[in-house]
Amino acid sequence: MQLSGFGLPDYRRLLRAALDHDYEFYTVAEYLDAAETAPRSIVLRHDVDRRVSNAVALADVEADLGIDATYYFRTSTFDPEIAKQMASNGHEIGYHYEDFVKERGNPHRAHTRFAANLASFRQHVPIETVCAHGNALSPHLNIDMWNEDTRTPADYDLVGRAYEIDADDDGSSDRMYLSDTGRDWDASVPGFGAVRSTDDVVQALESGDCPSVYLLAHPSRWATSGVQRLERVSWDLAAETGKSVANTVNTVRQADGRFGSPARVLRTLRSIASTGIPGRK
């Protein structure tokens, strides 16, 4: 896990580097629809799992740079006004579906629910592609709703699904898959080497060695303020190491009777991180 490099300025720097090195940006629908694509391209995807305001912040950075991306909203994060605003700025809005898990693996009920949710999104914005939400706590995979039923995306007038884009994180296909999951890009670009931090991504894009990219950025992982940065880091650490870290963070916070000095909290978090996290690859 990288403890820095996931703030809005870092995100802007990453996009800037891509633009400066002639990468062309595509939404998922644009890419799936294109007969031919630019020699160097980035398909830019966002799964809005939480924190809609962070998605708005990322969309604003992109609009400022003239970049279009795809934002996949869950029913819990979909806000019609925000979606309409994003769409009017050129972004694609997609449905981040989780109907198979919600219906506990029943394909018929999942499709009924999927159809209803898709229709309700479409009352506000066009939806051309969908993307499965992952839920580690469920034994079911949302993409399986397509395997256990004869209905296809075309039956729903969809251009396609996010996972139909071929990409890999080690250069074994023509397109690099770069995901911020775990706040660590955790990829390897042939000719360049390991890509862990956002600085690595920027340098890989600048090196000329990086091929086309399928980039997934979860808005909730990109801090839009100093407080959010600390919150995110402690959340990620807690998720990976268990409650003991959460308790430590709380102790650190309470020591000052408020959030504490950001530098001090960050120092403590760094020391927790550097002692090694069991089970972390």
Angle at 84 between CA 20 and CA 50, to 5 degrees: 75
Residue among 41 and 232 whose Cβ is closer to Zn ion: 232
**By the criterion CB under 5 A, which residues form the site for Zn ion?**
47, 49, 133
DSSP 94-152: EEEE-HHHHTTT-HHHHHHHHHHHHHHHHTTS---EEEEPP-TTSSS-GGGGGTSSS--
Residue among 49 and 180 whose Cβ is closer to Zn ion: 49
User: Minimum Å distance from CB 132 to Zn ion?
Assistant: 8
User: Minimum Å distance from CB 270 to Zn ion?
Assistant: 28
Pair type for strands 212-216 and 175-179: parallel
CA distances from 68 to 25, 62, 90, 163, 276 (A): 7, 7, 6, 19, 39
Rounded CA gap, 211 and 209, in Å? Answer: 6
User: Minimum Å distance from CB 151 to Zn ion?
Assistant: 22
Residue among 91 and 221 whose Cβ is closer to Zn ion: 221
Residue among 49 and 92 whose Cβ is closer to Zn ion: 49
Residue among 31 and 95 whose Cβ is closer to Zn ion: 95
Q: Which residue is nearest to Zn ion (CB)?
A: 133
User: Minimum Å distance from CB 96 to Zn ion?
Assistant: 5
User: Minimum Å distance from CB 131 to Zn ion?
Assistant: 8
Size (the chain), residues:
281
| Cβ pair 201, 19 in contact under 8 A | no
User: Minimum Å distance from CB 134 to Zn ion?
Assistant: 6
Residue among 91 and 249 whose Cβ is closer to Zn ion: 91
In sequence order, the 6+-apart residues with CB closer than 8 A to the CB of 58 are 8, 11, 46, 69, 217, 219, 222
